[in-house]
Chain A
Amino acid sequence: AQSVTQLDSHVSVSEGTPVLLRCNYSSSYSPSLFWYVQHPNKGLQLLLKYTSAATLVKGINGFEAEFKKSETSFHLTKPSAHMSDAAEYFCVVRPDTGGFKTIFGAGTRLFVKA
């Protein structure tokens, strides 16, 4: 069975400090992995995706994520947080089973302090 676990429901950082949002997945096959961001009362915006090319994936707004198969992890990082990064972040897995079903993590809410 496929699943996604976001290890922290809330993360709080100070502006200018690094961000780490953790995600572990379980998949029987080689999955595609995505990170989305959701600002209040808005839809989800794609930050980046991993699709079996380079294991270090760079996304928009300075975010990047590293796929580690041995650890079944796909953690999201950013070197320096901005106030505008405060939002909800979702790790998403799409198993490589030929279908289109998508599994969302429960989300991590990022707070950025001035």
Chain B
Amino acid sequence: NAGVMQNPRHLVRRRGQEARLRCSPVKGHSHVYWYRQLPEEGLKFMVYLQKENIIDESGMPKERFSAEFPKEGPSILRIQQVVRGDSAAYFCASSPGTGGFNQPQHFGDGTRLSIL
């Protein structure tokens, strides 16, 4: 099954540490999206990337959060100096680069980040 792969599935960090979340898109997909889901809430868009480019980061907090999608390797969502409020499930999705805006996104199983 060559779906979207996210790792780790669970990540525990202490306040002030860094968290790195990885996402490998579906093979052949060139668009990656990151979402955050708080308990009992829907998904909130964070950032949309294509290979080596950030297309839309309007949902990303201005500080401590960054994302990349290098030419080779997975997409990385990086959270520096984590705080308790960063505890959430982070989902990655991918879609093909062709077919227009109506292509559905394929989701990974998420990374559950817990901050102690």
Contacts and interface: CB of A to CB of B under 8 A. Distances in A.
Interface in B74-116: 91, 93, 95, 101-102, 104-110, 112
Interface residues of B, number: 27
A98 B55 CA distance: 13
A106 B41 contact: yes
B65 interface: no
Interface in A68-114: 90, 94, 96-107
A76 B110 CA distance: 25
A56 interface: no
Size class of A's contact patch?
20 to 34
Main secondary structure of the interface of B (DSSP, over half): strand
Contacts, number: 60
A43 B101 contact: no
Interface in B34-57: 35, 41-45, 48, 55-56
A46 B101 CA distance: 15
Interface of B: 4, 6, 31, 33, 35, 41-45, 48, 55-56, 58, 91, 93, 95, 101-102, 104-110, 112
19 contacts: A34-B104, A41-B109, A41-B110, A43-B6, A43-B108, A44-B43, A44-B107, A46-B106, A90-B42, A90-B43, A94-B101, A97-B101, A100-B31, A100-B56, A101-B45, A101-B48, A102-B45, A103-B45, A107-B41
